[in-house]
Chains A and B, each alone.
Chain A
Protein backbone atom coordinates (compact mmCIF):
# COMPACT_ATOMS: atom_id res chain seq x y z
CA UNK A 1 0.00 0.00 0.00
CA UNK A 2 1.53 3.20 -1.11
CA UNK A 3 1.04 6.29 0.90
CA UNK A 4 1.58 9.82 -0.17
CA UNK A 5 2.76 12.56 2.06
CA UNK A 6 0.59 15.47 3.01
CA UNK A 7 2.62 17.90 0.91
CA UNK A 8 2.30 15.70 -2.13
CA UNK A 9 -1.39 15.46 -1.60
CA UNK A 10 -1.68 19.24 -1.37
CA UNK A 11 0.38 19.71 -4.49
CA UNK A 12 -1.86 17.24 -6.29
CA UNK A 13 -4.97 19.09 -5.25
CA UNK A 14 -3.62 22.49 -6.21
CA UNK A 15 -2.51 21.08 -9.56
CA UNK A 16 -6.00 19.77 -10.14
CA UNK A 17 -7.44 23.13 -9.28
CA UNK A 18 -4.99 24.92 -11.56
CA UNK A 19 -5.83 22.53 -14.40
CA UNK A 20 -9.46 23.13 -13.85
CA UNK A 21 -8.93 26.91 -13.99
CA UNK A 22 -6.87 26.69 -17.11
CA UNK A 23 -9.45 24.46 -18.69
CA UNK A 24 -12.17 26.96 -17.89
CA UNK A 25 -10.18 29.76 -19.40
CA UNK A 26 -9.20 27.94 -22.54
CA UNK A 27 -12.16 25.82 -23.45
CA UNK A 28 -15.46 27.57 -22.96
CA UNK A 29 -18.50 26.35 -24.72
CA UNK A 30 -21.22 28.60 -26.00
CA UNK A 31 -24.80 27.95 -25.08
CA UNK A 32 -27.92 28.57 -27.07
CA UNK A 33 -30.86 30.00 -25.19
CA UNK A 34 -34.22 29.70 -26.80
CA UNK A 35 -36.43 32.54 -25.64
CA UNK A 36 -40.06 32.14 -26.51
CA UNK A 37 -42.08 31.65 -28.67
CA UNK A 38 -44.33 32.11 -25.68
CA UNK A 39 -42.45 34.35 -23.35
CA UNK A 40 -44.65 37.12 -21.95
CA UNK A 41 -42.09 39.73 -23.03
CA UNK A 42 -42.80 38.88 -26.63
CA UNK A 43 -46.44 40.07 -26.65
CA UNK A 44 -47.48 37.21 -28.83
CA UNK A 45 -45.27 34.55 -30.30
CA UNK A 46 -41.81 35.82 -31.06
CA UNK A 47 -38.91 33.46 -30.63
CA UNK A 48 -35.41 34.71 -30.03
CA UNK A 49 -32.48 32.36 -30.40
CA UNK A 50 -29.70 33.83 -28.33
CA UNK A 51 -26.17 32.45 -28.45
CA UNK A 52 -24.61 33.02 -25.07
CA UNK A 53 -21.10 33.19 -23.79
CA UNK A 54 -21.57 32.92 -20.06
CA UNK A 55 -24.16 35.54 -19.27
CA UNK A 56 -23.51 37.60 -22.35
CA UNK A 57 -25.32 37.44 -25.65
CA UNK A 58 -23.01 36.85 -28.61
CA UNK A 59 -25.69 36.80 -31.28
CA UNK A 60 -29.45 37.00 -31.20
CA UNK A 61 -31.74 35.95 -34.00
CA UNK A 62 -35.45 36.68 -33.82
CA UNK A 63 -37.68 34.09 -35.48
CA UNK A 64 -41.19 35.07 -36.41
CA UNK A 65 -44.00 34.09 -38.65
CA UNK A 66 -45.95 32.10 -36.09
CA UNK A 67 -48.80 34.53 -36.56
CA UNK A 68 -48.39 35.59 -40.17
CA UNK A 69 -51.83 35.98 -41.68
CA UNK A 70 -50.97 37.44 -45.07
CA UNK A 71 -53.08 40.59 -44.87
CA UNK A 72 -51.38 42.12 -47.86
CA UNK A 73 -52.57 39.24 -50.04
CA UNK A 74 -56.01 39.06 -48.44
CA UNK A 75 -56.57 42.79 -48.94
CA UNK A 76 -56.19 42.31 -52.68
CA UNK A 77 -59.38 40.25 -52.89
CA UNK A 78 -61.56 42.42 -50.67
CA UNK A 79 -63.37 45.67 -51.26
CA UNK A 80 -62.01 48.75 -49.52
CA UNK A 81 -64.59 48.79 -46.70
CA UNK A 82 -63.98 45.10 -46.05
CA UNK A 83 -60.25 45.59 -45.61
CA UNK A 84 -60.75 47.50 -42.34
CA UNK A 85 -62.03 44.34 -40.68
CA UNK A 86 -58.71 42.68 -41.35
CA UNK A 87 -56.41 45.50 -40.46
CA UNK A 88 -58.12 45.91 -37.12
CA UNK A 89 -56.23 42.82 -36.10
CA UNK A 90 -52.75 44.11 -36.86
CA UNK A 91 -52.02 45.89 -33.59
CA UNK A 92 -54.81 44.49 -31.47
CA UNK A 93 -54.29 46.74 -28.49
CA UNK A 94 -54.82 49.93 -30.48
CA UNK A 95 -57.15 48.71 -33.19
CA UNK A 96 -58.82 51.94 -34.20
CA UNK A 97 -55.46 53.48 -34.96
CA UNK A 98 -54.83 50.74 -37.54
CA UNK A 99 -57.89 51.75 -39.52
CA UNK A 100 -57.11 55.45 -39.69
CA UNK A 101 -54.20 55.49 -42.16
CA UNK A 102 -55.88 53.05 -44.53
CA UNK A 103 -59.11 55.01 -44.56
CA UNK A 104 -57.18 58.24 -45.04
CA UNK A 105 -55.27 56.70 -47.96
CA UNK A 106 -58.52 55.64 -49.61
CA UNK A 107 -60.01 59.09 -49.01
CA UNK A 108 -56.91 60.66 -50.52
CA UNK A 109 -57.29 58.61 -53.69
CA UNK A 110 -61.01 59.39 -53.87
CA UNK A 111 -60.32 63.04 -53.09
CA UNK A 112 -63.02 63.25 -50.49
CA UNK A 113 -62.78 64.43 -46.95
CA UNK A 114 -64.73 63.47 -43.85
CA UNK A 115 -66.92 66.20 -42.32
CA UNK A 116 -65.30 68.14 -39.44
CA UNK A 117 -67.27 66.34 -36.75
CA UNK A 118 -66.08 62.98 -38.03
CA UNK A 119 -62.50 64.25 -38.16
CA UNK A 120 -62.67 65.28 -34.51
CA UNK A 121 -64.20 62.03 -33.32
CA UNK A 122 -61.71 60.12 -35.44
CA UNK A 123 -58.82 61.94 -33.82
CA UNK A 124 -60.27 61.34 -30.37
CA UNK A 125 -60.64 57.61 -30.98
CA UNK A 126 -57.18 57.43 -32.52
CA UNK A 127 -55.74 59.05 -29.43
CA UNK A 128 -57.79 56.91 -27.06
CA UNK A 129 -56.45 53.77 -28.64
CA UNK A 130 -52.97 55.17 -28.07
CA UNK A 131 -53.75 55.75 -24.41
CA UNK A 132 -55.16 52.24 -23.98
CA UNK A 133 -52.28 50.64 -25.86
CA UNK A 134 -49.45 52.47 -24.13
CA UNK A 135 -50.97 52.01 -20.68
CA UNK A 136 -50.80 48.29 -21.28
CA UNK A 137 -47.21 48.61 -22.40
CA UNK A 138 -46.22 50.49 -19.27
CA UNK A 139 -47.92 48.03 -16.94
CA UNK A 140 -46.42 45.14 -18.81
CA UNK A 141 -42.93 46.56 -18.54
CA UNK A 142 -43.35 46.34 -14.77
CA UNK A 143 -43.99 42.63 -15.04
CA UNK A 144 -40.99 42.11 -17.29
CA UNK A 145 -38.61 43.52 -14.71
CA UNK A 146 -40.22 41.76 -11.77
CA UNK A 147 -42.86 44.09 -10.38
CA UNK A 148 -46.35 42.62 -10.55
CA UNK A 149 -48.35 45.55 -9.19
CA UNK A 150 -48.13 48.00 -12.15
CA UNK A 151 -49.78 45.61 -14.57
CA UNK A 152 -52.86 45.32 -12.37
CA UNK A 153 -53.11 49.07 -12.07
CA UNK A 154 -52.66 49.43 -15.81
CA UNK A 155 -55.32 46.86 -16.68
CA UNK A 156 -57.72 48.34 -14.14
CA UNK A 157 -57.42 51.91 -15.41
CA UNK A 158 -57.20 50.91 -19.06
CA UNK A 159 -60.67 49.48 -18.66
CA UNK A 160 -62.08 53.01 -18.26
CA UNK A 161 -60.72 53.89 -21.69
CA UNK A 162 -61.84 50.64 -23.30
CA UNK A 163 -65.34 51.10 -21.85
CA UNK A 164 -65.58 54.45 -23.58
CA UNK A 165 -64.32 53.02 -26.86
CA UNK A 166 -66.88 50.24 -26.51
CA UNK A 167 -69.65 52.70 -25.73
CA UNK A 168 -69.18 54.51 -29.02
CA UNK A 169 -68.00 51.74 -31.37
CA UNK A 170 -69.52 48.60 -29.88
CA UNK A 171 -66.21 46.79 -29.71
CA UNK A 172 -63.66 46.84 -26.95
CA UNK A 173 -60.83 45.57 -29.07
CA UNK A 174 -61.83 45.64 -32.69
CA UNK A 175 -64.03 48.68 -33.29
CA UNK A 176 -64.17 48.53 -37.12
CA UNK A 177 -65.73 51.96 -36.85
CA UNK A 178 -63.90 54.07 -39.40
CA UNK A 179 -65.51 54.45 -42.80
CA UNK A 180 -64.36 55.99 -46.05
CA UNK A 181 -65.80 59.48 -45.80
CA UNK A 182 -66.61 59.52 -42.11
CA UNK A 183 -67.62 57.24 -39.28
CA UNK A 184 -70.17 54.51 -38.75
CA UNK A 185 -72.13 56.24 -36.03
CA UNK A 186 -72.37 59.36 -33.98
CA UNK A 187 -71.48 59.56 -30.30
CA UNK A 188 -73.96 58.19 -27.74
CA UNK A 189 -75.56 60.55 -25.23
CA UNK A 190 -73.45 61.46 -22.23
CA UNK A 191 -70.33 60.07 -23.81
CA UNK A 192 -68.34 63.29 -23.76
CA UNK A 193 -68.59 63.77 -20.00
CA UNK A 194 -67.90 60.12 -19.28
CA UNK A 195 -64.82 60.22 -21.47
CA UNK A 196 -63.56 63.32 -19.70
CA UNK A 197 -63.89 61.42 -16.43
CA UNK A 198 -62.06 58.47 -17.89
CA UNK A 199 -59.23 60.73 -18.99
CA UNK A 200 -59.06 62.04 -15.44
CA UNK A 201 -58.54 58.46 -14.30
CA UNK A 202 -55.79 58.06 -16.88
CA UNK A 203 -53.96 61.11 -15.58
CA UNK A 204 -54.28 59.77 -12.03
CA UNK A 205 -52.81 56.50 -13.26
CA UNK A 206 -49.85 58.32 -14.75
CA UNK A 207 -49.03 60.09 -11.50
CA UNK A 208 -49.45 56.90 -9.54
CA UNK A 209 -47.30 54.78 -11.84
CA UNK A 210 -44.62 57.44 -11.97
CA UNK A 211 -44.18 57.16 -8.21
CA UNK A 212 -44.64 53.45 -8.06
CA UNK A 213 -42.55 52.28 -10.98
CA UNK A 214 -40.40 55.01 -12.47
CA UNK A 215 -39.19 56.17 -9.08
CA UNK A 216 -38.39 52.64 -8.01
CA UNK A 217 -34.72 51.91 -7.51
CA UNK A 218 -34.89 48.38 -8.87
CA UNK A 219 -36.76 49.51 -11.97
CA UNK A 220 -34.14 52.14 -12.62
CA UNK A 221 -31.31 49.69 -12.06
CA UNK A 222 -32.86 47.31 -14.57
CA UNK A 223 -33.46 49.94 -17.25
CA UNK A 224 -31.03 52.85 -16.98
CA UNK A 225 -28.08 52.70 -19.35
CA UNK A 226 -29.31 49.47 -20.89
CA UNK A 227 -30.11 48.94 -24.56
CA UNK A 228 -28.91 52.30 -25.76
CA UNK A 229 -29.95 53.12 -29.34
CA UNK A 230 -28.01 55.96 -30.99
CA UNK A 231 -30.06 58.34 -33.10
CA UNK A 232 -28.55 57.48 -36.50
CA UNK A 233 -28.68 53.74 -35.99
CA UNK A 234 -32.30 53.92 -34.91
CA UNK A 235 -33.27 55.97 -37.95
CA UNK A 236 -31.43 53.72 -40.38
CA UNK A 237 -33.27 50.72 -38.94
CA UNK A 238 -36.52 52.61 -39.33
CA UNK A 239 -37.38 52.90 -35.67
CA UNK A 240 -40.26 55.25 -35.13
CA UNK A 241 -42.58 56.60 -32.54
CA UNK A 242 -41.51 56.56 -28.93
CA UNK A 243 -38.50 54.38 -29.63
CA UNK A 244 -36.85 57.02 -31.78
CA UNK A 245 -38.06 60.01 -29.77
CA UNK A 246 -36.38 58.49 -26.71
CA UNK A 247 -33.13 58.68 -28.68
CA UNK A 248 -33.48 62.41 -29.04
CA UNK A 249 -35.11 62.65 -32.46
CA UNK A 250 -37.78 65.30 -32.33
CA UNK A 251 -40.09 63.90 -34.98
CA UNK A 252 -43.77 63.18 -34.66
CA UNK A 253 -46.04 62.63 -37.65
CA UNK A 254 -48.93 64.14 -35.70
CA UNK A 255 -47.10 67.46 -35.63
CA UNK A 256 -44.71 67.41 -38.59
CA UNK A 257 -46.61 65.70 -41.38
CA UNK A 258 -50.20 65.53 -40.27
CA UNK A 259 -52.30 63.86 -42.97
CA UNK A 260 -55.57 65.46 -43.98
CA UNK A 261 -58.47 64.13 -41.95
CA UNK A 262 -57.01 64.38 -38.45
CA UNK A 263 -57.11 67.50 -36.30
CA UNK A 264 -54.07 67.39 -34.05
CA UNK A 265 -53.24 70.93 -35.17
CA UNK A 266 -56.34 72.23 -33.38
CA UNK A 267 -55.11 71.45 -29.88
CA UNK A 268 -52.27 72.40 -27.64
CA UNK A 269 -49.90 69.56 -26.92
CA UNK A 270 -46.23 68.74 -26.82
CA UNK A 271 -43.92 66.18 -28.38
CA UNK A 272 -41.72 64.66 -25.69
CA UNK A 273 -38.21 63.49 -26.36
CA UNK A 274 -35.40 62.14 -24.21
CA UNK A 275 -31.70 62.34 -25.02
CA UNK A 276 -30.56 59.04 -23.46
CA UNK A 277 -31.94 56.36 -25.76
CA UNK A 278 -31.95 53.64 -23.11
CA UNK A 279 -34.75 51.45 -21.80
CA UNK A 280 -35.67 53.90 -19.07
CA UNK A 281 -36.00 56.85 -21.42
CA UNK A 282 -38.21 54.84 -23.76
CA UNK A 283 -40.55 54.03 -20.92
CA UNK A 284 -40.39 57.62 -19.65
CA UNK A 285 -41.37 59.06 -23.03
CA UNK A 286 -44.17 56.49 -23.19
CA UNK A 287 -45.57 57.74 -19.91
CA UNK A 288 -45.54 61.30 -21.22
CA UNK A 289 -47.32 60.09 -24.37
CA UNK A 290 -50.18 58.80 -22.24
CA UNK A 291 -50.38 62.13 -20.42
CA UNK A 292 -50.37 64.07 -23.69
CA UNK A 293 -52.93 61.66 -25.12
CA UNK A 294 -55.28 62.32 -22.24
CA UNK A 295 -54.70 66.04 -22.67
CA UNK A 296 -55.42 65.93 -26.40
CA UNK A 297 -58.61 63.93 -25.90
CA UNK A 298 -59.87 66.24 -23.16
CA UNK A 299 -59.28 69.32 -25.29
CA UNK A 300 -60.83 67.82 -28.41
CA UNK A 301 -63.91 66.70 -26.47
CA UNK A 302 -64.83 70.29 -25.70
CA UNK A 303 -64.29 71.38 -29.31
CA UNK A 304 -66.26 68.80 -31.30
CA UNK A 305 -68.26 70.74 -33.91
CA UNK A 306 -71.80 69.78 -34.80
CA UNK A 307 -72.77 68.48 -38.21
CA UNK A 308 -72.95 65.25 -40.15
CA UNK A 309 -70.53 62.41 -39.49
CA UNK A 310 -70.53 61.00 -43.00
CA UNK A 311 -69.69 62.60 -46.31
CA UNK A 312 -71.65 61.69 -49.42
CA UNK A 313 -70.12 58.44 -50.52
CA UNK A 314 -71.60 55.90 -52.95
CA UNK A 315 -72.71 52.61 -51.48
CA UNK A 316 -70.44 50.63 -53.76
CA UNK A 317 -67.08 52.27 -53.43
CA UNK A 318 -64.76 52.32 -56.40
CA UNK A 319 -61.48 54.05 -55.73
CA UNK A 320 -59.94 55.90 -58.69
CA UNK A 321 -56.65 54.65 -60.07
CA UNK A 322 -53.57 55.99 -58.38
CA UNK A 323 -51.10 55.43 -55.60
CA UNK A 324 -51.18 56.90 -52.14
CA UNK A 325 -49.13 56.48 -49.03
CA UNK A 326 -50.52 57.76 -45.76
CA UNK A 327 -48.73 57.34 -42.48
CA UNK A 328 -49.95 58.25 -39.03
CA UNK A 329 -48.39 58.25 -35.61
CA UNK A 330 -49.76 55.08 -34.08
CA UNK A 331 -49.30 53.85 -30.53
CA UNK A 332 -46.33 51.69 -31.51
CA UNK A 333 -44.79 54.09 -33.99
CA UNK A 334 -45.33 55.24 -37.55
CA UNK A 335 -47.80 53.09 -39.43
CA UNK A 336 -48.58 53.57 -43.07
CA UNK A 337 -50.44 51.98 -45.94
CA UNK A 338 -49.19 52.20 -49.49
CA UNK A 339 -52.36 51.66 -51.49
CA UNK A 340 -52.24 51.07 -55.24
CA UNK A 341 -55.60 51.26 -56.93
CA UNK A 342 -56.53 50.45 -60.49
CA UNK A 343 -59.96 51.99 -60.24
CA UNK A 344 -61.59 48.79 -59.07
CA UNK A 345 -63.62 47.65 -56.09
CA UNK A 346 -60.57 46.25 -54.38
CA UNK A 347 -57.05 47.58 -53.94
CA UNK A 348 -54.52 46.24 -56.43
CA UNK A 349 -51.77 46.12 -53.86
CA UNK A 350 -51.56 47.19 -50.24
CA UNK A 351 -48.20 47.47 -48.59
CA UNK A 352 -48.60 47.63 -44.84
CA UNK A 353 -45.81 49.51 -43.15
CA UNK A 354 -46.21 48.48 -39.55
CA UNK A 355 -44.24 50.06 -36.77
CA UNK A 356 -43.22 47.00 -34.80
CA UNK A 357 -41.66 45.25 -37.80
CA UNK A 358 -39.02 47.94 -38.07
CA UNK A 359 -38.79 48.44 -34.32
CA UNK A 360 -37.92 44.80 -33.74
CA UNK A 361 -35.56 44.53 -36.71
CA UNK A 362 -32.98 46.34 -34.60
CA UNK A 363 -32.85 43.56 -31.97
CA UNK A 364 -30.00 41.53 -33.53
CA UNK A 365 -27.88 44.67 -33.37
CA UNK A 366 -29.14 45.82 -30.00
CA UNK A 367 -28.93 42.52 -28.13
CA UNK A 368 -25.31 41.88 -29.03
CA UNK A 369 -23.23 41.95 -25.87
CA UNK A 370 -26.00 42.48 -23.33
CA UNK A 371 -26.62 40.22 -20.35
CA UNK A 372 -29.46 37.72 -20.26
CA UNK A 373 -31.81 39.62 -17.92
CA UNK A 374 -31.33 42.74 -20.03
CA UNK A 375 -32.83 40.97 -23.04
CA UNK A 376 -36.15 41.14 -21.25
CA UNK A 377 -35.75 44.79 -20.30
CA UNK A 378 -34.90 45.68 -23.88
CA UNK A 379 -37.74 43.70 -25.44
CA UNK A 380 -40.18 45.12 -22.92
CA UNK A 381 -39.04 48.67 -23.52
CA UNK A 382 -39.13 48.40 -27.32
CA UNK A 383 -42.77 47.43 -26.80
CA UNK A 384 -44.04 45.66 -29.87
CA UNK A 385 -47.16 43.67 -30.60
CA UNK A 386 -46.65 40.51 -32.59
CA UNK A 387 -49.64 41.09 -34.79
CA UNK A 388 -47.94 44.28 -35.85
CA UNK A 389 -44.80 42.38 -36.86
CA UNK A 390 -46.38 39.39 -38.54
CA UNK A 391 -49.35 41.13 -40.16
Chain B
Protein backbone atom coordinates (compact mmCIF):
# COMPACT_ATOMS: atom_id res chain seq x y z
CA UNK B 1 0.00 0.00 0.00
CA UNK B 2 1.47 3.31 -0.96
CA UNK B 3 1.51 6.29 1.32
CA UNK B 4 -0.85 8.34 -0.79
CA UNK B 5 -3.73 5.88 -0.52
CA UNK B 6 -3.32 5.64 3.23
CA UNK B 7 -3.45 9.39 3.50
CA UNK B 8 -6.41 9.87 1.24
CA UNK B 9 -8.58 7.15 2.68
CA UNK B 10 -9.03 8.65 6.08
CA UNK B 11 -10.88 11.92 5.49
CA UNK B 12 -13.60 10.32 3.38
CA UNK B 13 -16.04 10.50 6.29
CA UNK B 14 -15.48 14.23 6.57
CA UNK B 15 -16.48 14.98 3.02
CA UNK B 16 -16.71 18.65 2.09
CA UNK B 17 -15.32 19.64 5.45
CA UNK B 18 -12.41 22.00 5.09
CA UNK B 19 -10.37 23.07 8.04
CA UNK B 20 -9.51 26.64 7.16
CA UNK B 21 -7.36 27.43 10.17
CA UNK B 22 -5.20 24.35 9.72
CA UNK B 23 -4.96 24.78 5.95
CA UNK B 24 -3.84 28.35 6.54
CA UNK B 25 -1.18 27.12 8.94
CA UNK B 26 0.11 24.67 6.33
CA UNK B 27 0.10 27.42 3.70
CA UNK B 28 2.12 29.76 5.91
CA UNK B 29 4.61 27.07 6.76
CA UNK B 30 5.00 26.16 3.09
CA UNK B 31 5.64 29.78 2.30
CA UNK B 32 8.26 30.18 5.00
CA UNK B 33 10.10 26.90 4.53
CA UNK B 34 9.43 26.23 0.82
CA UNK B 35 11.79 23.35 -0.04
CA UNK B 36 12.06 22.17 3.54
CA UNK B 37 8.55 20.76 3.54
CA UNK B 38 8.20 17.29 2.11
CA UNK B 39 4.58 16.47 2.75
CA UNK B 40 1.67 17.76 4.76
CA UNK B 41 -1.55 16.25 5.93
CA UNK B 42 -4.57 17.92 7.47
CA UNK B 43 -7.30 15.98 9.18
CA UNK B 44 -10.17 18.45 9.28
CA UNK B 45 -11.32 19.36 12.76
CA UNK B 46 -8.61 17.26 14.31
CA UNK B 47 -4.96 17.81 13.67
CA UNK B 48 -2.22 18.72 11.23
CA UNK B 49 0.97 16.87 10.31
CA UNK B 50 3.95 18.40 8.52
CA UNK B 51 6.89 16.34 7.30
CA UNK B 52 10.07 18.30 6.79
CA UNK B 53 13.50 17.39 5.47
CA UNK B 54 16.29 16.84 7.93
CA UNK B 55 18.09 19.97 6.81
CA UNK B 56 15.05 22.03 7.70
CA UNK B 57 14.48 20.32 11.06
CA UNK B 58 15.89 23.11 13.22
CA UNK B 59 14.70 25.85 10.90
CA UNK B 60 11.17 24.49 11.30
CA UNK B 61 11.42 24.77 15.06
CA UNK B 62 12.77 28.30 14.72
CA UNK B 63 9.95 29.39 12.45
CA UNK B 64 7.32 27.74 14.62
CA UNK B 65 8.58 29.30 17.80
CA UNK B 66 9.63 32.79 16.88
CA UNK B 67 7.39 33.56 13.91
CA UNK B 68 4.29 31.45 14.40
CA UNK B 69 3.92 31.68 18.16
CA UNK B 70 4.21 27.97 18.94
CA UNK B 71 5.99 28.56 22.24
CA UNK B 72 4.95 25.40 24.06
CA UNK B 73 7.15 22.36 23.56
CA UNK B 74 4.99 19.27 23.88
CA UNK B 75 7.19 16.27 23.13
CA UNK B 76 9.79 14.84 20.77
CA UNK B 77 10.34 11.20 20.02
CA UNK B 78 10.91 8.74 17.21
CA UNK B 79 9.04 5.99 15.39
CA UNK B 80 10.42 2.75 14.02
CA UNK B 81 8.28 1.91 11.01
CA UNK B 82 9.80 -1.48 10.30
CA UNK B 83 7.55 -4.08 11.90
CA UNK B 84 9.06 -6.35 14.49
CA UNK B 85 10.37 -9.71 13.25
CA UNK B 86 9.11 -11.22 16.52
CA UNK B 87 5.73 -9.63 17.00
CA UNK B 88 3.76 -11.02 19.88
CA UNK B 89 4.73 -14.50 18.85
CA UNK B 90 4.14 -17.05 21.62
CA UNK B 91 0.58 -18.29 21.03
CA UNK B 92 -0.16 -14.98 19.44
CA UNK B 93 -3.58 -14.53 17.96
CA UNK B 94 -2.89 -12.11 15.16
CA UNK B 95 0.23 -10.10 15.60
CA UNK B 96 2.82 -12.37 14.04
CA UNK B 97 5.14 -9.58 13.11
CA UNK B 98 2.18 -7.66 11.76
CA UNK B 99 2.04 -10.31 9.08
CA UNK B 100 -0.30 -13.12 10.06
CA UNK B 101 0.23 -15.27 6.97
CA UNK B 102 3.26 -17.25 8.02
CA UNK B 103 5.02 -17.31 11.34
CA UNK B 104 8.47 -17.58 9.88
CA UNK B 105 8.09 -14.94 7.21
CA UNK B 106 10.88 -12.46 7.23
CA UNK B 107 9.23 -9.08 7.22
CA UNK B 108 12.47 -7.36 6.37
CA UNK B 109 11.56 -7.13 2.70
CA UNK B 110 8.02 -5.90 3.16
CA UNK B 111 7.48 -2.31 2.05
CA UNK B 112 7.31 0.21 4.85
CA UNK B 113 3.85 1.33 5.82
CA UNK B 114 4.07 4.75 7.31
CA UNK B 115 1.49 7.01 8.85
CA UNK B 116 0.08 10.44 8.20
CA UNK B 117 2.23 12.76 6.08
CA UNK B 118 4.05 9.72 4.77
CA UNK B 119 7.64 8.68 5.23
CA UNK B 120 10.41 7.04 3.21
CA UNK B 121 12.73 5.69 5.85
CA UNK B 122 12.58 3.24 8.71
CA UNK B 123 13.18 5.80 11.43
CA UNK B 124 11.22 8.98 11.73
CA UNK B 125 11.52 11.74 14.26
CA UNK B 126 8.31 13.35 15.36
CA UNK B 127 7.66 16.26 17.64
CA UNK B 128 4.70 18.31 18.67
CA UNK B 129 4.44 21.96 19.65
CA UNK B 130 1.48 24.03 20.77
CA UNK B 131 0.45 27.63 20.61
CA UNK B 132 -1.18 28.25 23.97
CA UNK B 133 -2.79 31.56 23.06
CA UNK B 134 -4.85 30.16 20.19
CA UNK B 135 -4.88 26.50 21.29
CA UNK B 136 -3.33 25.35 17.99
CA UNK B 137 -0.95 22.44 17.74
CA UNK B 138 1.11 20.83 15.03
CA UNK B 139 2.99 17.55 14.71
CA UNK B 140 6.29 17.74 12.85
CA UNK B 141 7.86 14.65 11.34
CA UNK B 142 11.29 14.13 9.82
CA UNK B 143 12.80 11.15 8.01
CA UNK B 144 16.20 9.87 9.04
CA UNK B 145 18.23 7.81 6.54
CA UNK B 146 19.11 4.34 7.83
CA UNK B 147 22.84 4.72 7.36
CA UNK B 148 23.05 8.07 9.10
CA UNK B 149 20.84 8.24 12.14
CA UNK B 150 21.68 11.75 13.17
CA UNK B 151 19.66 14.90 13.52
CA UNK B 152 20.52 18.39 14.70
CA UNK B 153 19.37 19.17 18.21
CA UNK B 154 16.38 21.36 19.04
CA UNK B 155 17.82 22.55 22.34
CA UNK B 156 18.77 26.07 21.21
CA UNK B 157 15.15 26.64 20.21
CA UNK B 158 13.23 24.55 22.71
CA UNK B 159 15.41 23.78 25.74
CA UNK B 160 12.80 21.26 26.86
CA UNK B 161 13.92 19.00 24.00
CA UNK B 162 17.01 18.10 26.01
CA UNK B 163 15.64 15.11 27.90
CA UNK B 164 13.37 14.04 25.07
CA UNK B 165 16.36 13.80 22.77
CA UNK B 166 18.31 11.85 25.35
CA UNK B 167 15.41 9.42 25.59
CA UNK B 168 15.13 9.08 21.82
CA UNK B 169 18.90 8.58 21.62
CA UNK B 170 19.01 5.69 24.08
CA UNK B 171 15.76 4.09 22.94
CA UNK B 172 16.24 4.34 19.17
CA UNK B 173 19.94 4.98 18.72
CA UNK B 174 19.55 8.36 17.10
CA UNK B 175 22.38 10.78 17.56
CA UNK B 176 21.54 14.42 18.05
CA UNK B 177 24.38 16.60 16.85
CA UNK B 178 25.06 19.57 19.05
CA UNK B 179 23.45 18.00 22.12
CA UNK B 180 25.61 18.92 25.11
CA UNK B 181 24.94 15.85 27.21
CA UNK B 182 23.75 12.85 25.26
CA UNK B 183 24.15 10.34 28.09
CA UNK B 184 21.61 7.66 28.85
CA UNK B 185 18.58 8.97 30.66
CA UNK B 186 16.69 5.94 31.93
CA UNK B 187 18.84 2.97 31.08
CA UNK B 188 21.97 1.93 32.94
CA UNK B 189 25.17 3.19 31.34
CA UNK B 190 26.37 -0.21 30.12
CA UNK B 191 23.05 -1.19 28.53
CA UNK B 192 23.44 -2.52 25.01
CA UNK B 193 20.90 -2.20 22.24
CA UNK B 194 18.07 0.17 21.60
CA UNK B 195 14.93 -1.14 23.35
CA UNK B 196 12.29 0.79 21.46
CA UNK B 197 13.44 -0.44 18.07
CA UNK B 198 11.03 -3.01 16.76
CA UNK B 199 13.75 -5.61 16.27
CA UNK B 200 14.70 -5.48 19.96
CA UNK B 201 13.04 -8.59 21.36
CA UNK B 202 10.84 -8.22 24.39
CA UNK B 203 12.06 -11.18 26.39
CA UNK B 204 8.86 -11.76 28.34
CA UNK B 205 7.05 -12.42 25.07
CA UNK B 206 9.74 -14.73 23.75
CA UNK B 207 9.95 -17.10 26.68
CA UNK B 208 6.36 -17.70 27.71
CA UNK B 209 2.91 -17.70 26.13
CA UNK B 210 1.05 -14.47 25.99
CA UNK B 211 -1.34 -14.44 28.95
CA UNK B 212 -3.56 -11.86 27.32
CA UNK B 213 -4.62 -14.26 24.61
CA UNK B 214 -7.77 -15.12 26.56
CA UNK B 215 -9.09 -11.68 25.72
CA UNK B 216 -8.92 -12.19 21.98
CA UNK B 217 -9.56 -15.91 21.61
CA UNK B 218 -12.67 -17.01 19.82
CA UNK B 219 -15.50 -17.68 22.24
CA UNK B 220 -18.22 -20.32 21.73
CA UNK B 221 -20.98 -18.85 19.60
CA UNK B 222 -18.78 -16.30 17.93
CA UNK B 223 -18.13 -16.24 14.24
CA UNK B 224 -15.07 -17.83 12.71
CA UNK B 225 -12.68 -14.92 12.75
CA UNK B 226 -13.48 -14.14 16.37
CA UNK B 227 -14.54 -10.72 15.33
CA UNK B 228 -17.23 -8.30 16.42
CA UNK B 229 -19.84 -10.78 17.54
CA UNK B 230 -22.56 -9.11 19.54
CA UNK B 231 -23.43 -12.15 21.63
CA UNK B 232 -19.88 -12.13 22.91
CA UNK B 233 -20.19 -8.74 24.51
CA UNK B 234 -23.08 -9.80 26.72
CA UNK B 235 -21.30 -12.76 28.27
Contacts and interface: CB of A to CB of B under 8 A. Distances in A.
Interface of A: 64-65, 68, 70, 72-74, 76-79, 81-82, 108, 111, 232-233, 235-240, 244, 249, 251, 256-257, 312-316, 318, 321-325, 327, 334, 336, 338, 340, 342, 344-346, 348-349, 351, 353, 357-358, 361-362, 365, 390
A231 to B, nearest CB: 9
Contact of B158 (A236, A251, A346, A390): A236
Contacts of B158: 236-238
Interface of B: 6, 10, 13, 46-47, 49, 65, 71-75, 77, 79-80, 84, 88, 93-95, 98, 113, 115-116, 126, 128, 132-133, 135, 137, 139, 157-160, 162-163, 171, 184-188, 195-196, 200, 202, 205, 210, 212, 215-216, 219, 222, 226-230, 232-233, 235
Given A68-B186, A316-B227, A345-B93, A257 B135 contact: yes
A232 B157 CA distance: 12
B216 A351 contact: no
A79 B216 contact: yes
Majority DSSP secondary structure for residues of B touching A: loop
Contacts of B46: 108, 324
A342 B232 CA distance: 24
B159 A314 contact: no
B228 A358 contact: no
Contacts of A390: 186
Contacts of A318: 227
A323 B233 contact: no
A71 to B, nearest CB: 11
Contacts of A74: 202
A252 to B, nearest CB: 10
Contacts of B162: 361
B13 to A, nearest CB: 7
Contacts of A338: 75, 77, 126, 128, 139
Given A338-B128, A361-B162, A315 B233 contact: yes
Nearest to A346: B95
B26 to A, nearest CB: 17
A345 B210 CA distance: 14
B12 to A, nearest CB: 11
Contacts of A358: 73, 75, 160
Contact of B186 (A64, A312, A336): A64
A257 B137 CA distance: 10
Closest 10 CB pairs of A and B: A65-B186, A314-B228, A315-B232, A237-B160, A238-B160, A251-B132, A68-B186, A256-B135, A238-B73, A235-B71
